[in-house]
Structure 1
Amino acid sequence: MRRSLGLLSIVLCLAPLAGCGGDGGSSSENELTIYSGRNEKLVGRLIDSFGRKSGVKVKVRYGESAELAATIAEEGDNSPADVFFSQDAGALGAVEDSLAPLPATLTNAVPERFRDPRGRWSGTSARARVVAFSTERVQERELPDSIFGFTEPRWKGKVGFAPPNASFQAFVSGMRLDVGDARTKQWLAAIKRNKPKLYDNNIQTVEAIARGEVDVGFVNHYYLYELRAERPDLPVRNHWLRPGDPGSLVNVAGTGILSSTEHKPQAERFVRFLQGREAQTYFAQKTFEYPLTAGVQPIRGLPPLRRVVGPGFALGKLGGELRGTLRMLEEAGFST
């Protein structure tokens, strides 16, 4: 599944609103409009389930998270959206001023590092950056414990990644926030000299490892599990970099309620639903992400989330870095 993020400054023509929900939600007072940066194929069933069980008439506008964030900013107080369900914490951070503070019961339901420090948005699920590697050509003990180690000559021509993918762009933004622009530019230049193979998305990257095109790839952790669901014998594993390394970024999908909403009770109910057992179990077992609320465990084989630690900046800051990151990638020769 593709999870991509566009340029914040560009507002594209978005899909018409799609409705779902039970007949009991026909009143305008019992409806909810969601702007979802998460793909309909990924979360459509969950949103449908909320509509059926709550009786709330739900309308959904799907699009890229960054594009929807730009739309919310442009619409201002006239936005028809009640809830922003974002694939990326950076997109939530980009519209924080348009979001209302959430009740403490909702923000406190997830770990502190996966919510806005001022309580305007809260994570729903998490994913970690990893280095996927070939079990046929690489021993894990040979792999560096830092993303900076892959600039060494021995990895020349053996690394793959997807510059157009939002998760890679967020990783580069995170590196900029963590170690600064100068060192990030140095890393990009050194990786470029190592002649990496470039792909359109993370799935292609993991498939290339399995085919033997590259030995390692920079991806999100769940793509391995997506492919293993179809190919249990896939000769690829995930390598987890050391805690705090830029290559260990843990990002979240999350929700915020617009301050302009006239349907606050329904909006809070939806956020609470995404934090509940049904949705959290879905994220764990169907999308292979990390659930964020207590009582639901990730799939077998994933390290505990408390041990998966990225750089220490607030995730909402990622949104403000996207333009600069895209410019930096282009200057380094990585087309986005």
Structure 2
Amino acid sequence: MSEDDRRTRIDGTPVDRRAFLGGTAAAGIAGLAGCTGDGEDGGGGTETSEPEGGSGTDDLESLGYGRERGELGGTPMSEMPDLEGELTVYSGRGEFLVGQLVSYIESLYDDFSLEVRYGGATDLVNQIVNEGDGTPADVFYSVNAGALGALAGEGRTAALSDDLLELVREEFHTEQWIGTSGRARSVPYNTNALSEGDIPDSVMEFPDFDAQLGWAPSYGSCQAFVTAMRIIEGEEATREWLNAIQEAGIESYPDEFVVSQAVADGEIDAGFTNHYYIQRVIEGREDPPIATTFTEGDAGAVFNVAGAAVVDQASDPTLAENFIRHLLSTEAQDYFAVRTFEYPLVEGVPPVGDLPSIDELDVPNIDLAQLSDLQETVDLMRDAGIDI
């Protein structure tokens, strides 16, 4: 075994890269160092909310890390091009969420140096634009498709290779960016108070639903949900819905993980959140009375993606693309499923929990990049008297 093929296990002992990654592709990512939790973007676009359990590796089991997952599909890192050179990533995904994963990727290659600058996704888009041709950014990694679309709209992304784009379904990429994991809008409900059949199929019916509801209107994901409503239903219908949902007495919370906790505690009957917050409550408690359901084909069922793009001024576009490939490897996709409870986007890597497949979700047909237009939504919500 050559020095170039030898890497270090988490416990510090050497391991052969090809043999190690080949094994983890079949059994999941038990060999990856983990970061706890997930969050969703706040108003500034950066993931901030961390679930119960703290950080580090002490509570990996409580979050499902290293669970038996069986044989998984996709392409293992051992079959991907080696990474060699220097790369700068601007990440709108939180360090506590993806830092261990990207550091692990860096550790696999002796001749690869990775610098990651973390911040709000929107702020980083503006930074890249303001830095112009002198930006050091090679890859932009975003919490949502809206920020990716905003950067592409500024002409600051490079077209991606067809063989990279083919790694995910066409609805989860454009020529300029590619999704790496997904999240579905959902309705968490308290199973002691409601059954799945009680939940309306249309999000527009919720103001008339006889239940105590909760949401997190200052949260970026909630604002993206309202943005989707504006796109699908129109501004006037959305304004009427916002007024009616407030009149119905909806409770406001600081983030969507807290909304899901309130549902499980019986404080409210149901709410509006991304799907993975519910899964975190389920994983962190013993038999909590909370379950997940979805509306049909409307703003309450939007499926958004985190993803990456190669910046137009990347010093080595091929290296940048190959790093993104690693985010779509079997190991990384399983990491997103097991550690962040997101939907993997690579075929053959299922989500964690009792969730429908992506194909079974009734997702509205909208351009995800349009969800970046939050300012009009924020103005509309404030005009409706919502404190955000």
User: Deviation string for 1:108-149 (max 9, x for gaps)?
Assistant: 211111112xx1000000010001000011122111011111
Aligned residue pair count: 310
SS state at 1:154 partner? coil
CA distance in 2, matches of 1:51, 1:101: 24
Equivalence for 2:289: 235
CA distance in 1, matches of 2:189, 2:306: 25
CA distance in 2, matches of 1:32, 1:235: 45
CA distance in 2, matches of 1:166, 1:232: 29
Closer/same/farther in 2, CA of residues 6 and 79 from structure 1, 3 Å limit: farther
SS state at 1:316 partner? helix
Are 1:304 and 2:362 counterparts?
A: no
1:263 CA displacement? 2.0
Rg (Cα) greater in structure: 2
Equivalence for 1:112: 170
Q: Give the letter for the 2:39 counterpart.
A: R
Q: Give the letter for the 1:131 counterpart.
A: V
Contact 1:130 1:220 in 2 (8 A): yes
Q: Give the letter for the 1:317 counterpart.
A: Q
Q: Give the letter for the 2:122 counterpart.
A: A
> Percent identity between the aligned chains?
39
CA distance in 2, matches of 1:245, 1:106: 30
1:7 CA displacement? 4.9
Alignment of 1:131-280 (within 5 A): 131-152=187-208, 154-155=210-211, 158-242=212-296, 244-280=297-333
User: Deviation string for 1:215-261 (max 9, x for gaps)?
Assistant: 0010011111112222031111011112x111000000000000111
SS state at 1:95 partner? helix
CA RMSD after TM alignment? 1.4
1:300 CA displacement? 3.9
Closer/same/farther in 2, CA of residues 300 and 212 from structure 1, 3 Å limit: closer
1:310 CA displacement? 2.2
Q: Which structure has the highest helix share of the two?
A: 1
Equivalence for 1:2: 39
User: Deviation string for 1:62-92 (max 9, x for gaps)?
Assistant: 1111111121222222211110000011011
1:283 CA displacement? 0.7
SS state at 1:129 partner? strand
Equivalence for 2:348: 295
Closer/same/farther in 2, CA of residues 309 and 77 from structure 1, 3 Å limit: farther
Are 1:317 and 2:370 counterparts?
A: yes
Unaligned 5+ segments in structure 1 are 9-28
Equivalence for 1:23: none
SS state at 1:84 partner? strand
SS state at 1:241 partner? coil
SS state at 1:31 partner? strand
Hey, which bits of structure 1, 4+ residues long, moved more than 6 A? none
1:181 CA displacement? 1.0
Unaligned 5+ segments in structure 2 are 1-37, 46-83
CA distance in 1, matches of 2:229, 2:134: 36
CA distance in 1, matches of 2:364, 2:162: 25
CA distance in 1, matches of 2:42, 2:313: 25
